[in-house]
Structures are given as structure tokens and as C-alpha cells.
Amino acid sequence: MEEIVNRVTNSKLKTFDLEEIYPEGKRVLFDIKDWLFQELILKEVDFRASVKNHNWSQYKNSFVAITCSADAIIPSWAFMLIASELNLYANKVVIGNLELLETVLYQELLEFIDYKDFVDVPVIIKGCAEKPIPNAAYSLLISKLQPIAKSIMFGEACSTVPLYKAKK
């Protein structure tokens, strides 16, 4: 009987799984529409009172995206005022939606990775994530790997889609 050899395990192929660096923590979408008069108008005195009386400590160690889902014109200082309170407790605060929050988190994480193990080797960027990894994170990762990798593929070792191959 012939021995079965796992060629993937024995190859130089490296897998990069964005889920492995996913920062754990609660994600919160902080919507300011409830602090607007008739969900339409920002009254500064009332808005500042809402900010002052809110329990900000509930966002400790959370990742927060500040938004306004109402069709209202909100001055920049209002978002900044909320961010200044959240920054005392939250791990990260952005003004935008949850996808932007995830993108910013990955942008920061991918800056601090040592990519030396991916130099001149074929790389698979793992697909099929169970966590909310934004498409922008994949693009950011490609920009880090493309200058150094021999090739880049997407998917799983058993079924990959070729994305890039370095010129010889």
C-alpha cells in the first residue's frame, strides 16, 4: 500500500487567515438620532445634556461606530463631542458604520504584522470567514503581500482562485 502524502503540508504554501487577527470585543453602532428633536433637528442645549447624562462606561473595551440614521444635517462637532466621551472607554471609535469600523481595525492591524514568512512563497488568503471581515481588509492585505509574495490565491488549499503571480 502506497503512503498518502499531503503535498499542501509539505509545500512552501503559506495561508493568511484574516480571522486569526480579528480583534475580539463588542461592536456597537451608536446612533445619535434619538438625541435629536423629532429625530431631525439638533438642539445644542438638549444634545449636550444627553451627552452629559449618558452612561459612557458601558462602552468600556468596545469598538464603536458613531452614526446618525436619520436624514438630518448634523454638525461635525456633535460627532466629535460623542467621540471625546467614548474615547475614554472604548478601544476604538470611528464616525461611520460598522463596516468602516472593521476596515479601520484591519488597516491598523495589518500595518503591524511582520510579513517575512510570506516573502517569495505562494500565499493563500483564506476565504469563508465566519466573522465580519470587510472586503476592504482583503484589498489592504493584497497591497501588503503583492510586493513580496511569489503568488497570491484566494480560498482554501483544495480550491483556490489565482489572484496574482510575480513576474520572473
Three-state DSSP at 152 gives strand
**Domain segments of the chain: what residues?**
7-23+113-165, 27-90
**Does the pTM of the predicted model rise above 0.75?**
yes
Name the percent of the chain lying above pLDDT 90: 82
Structure confidence at residue 162 as a pLDDT band (50, 70, 90) = very high
- Measured from the Cβ of residue 123, the count of other Cβ atoms closer than 10 Å reads 26
> Quick one: pLDDT at residue 11?
67
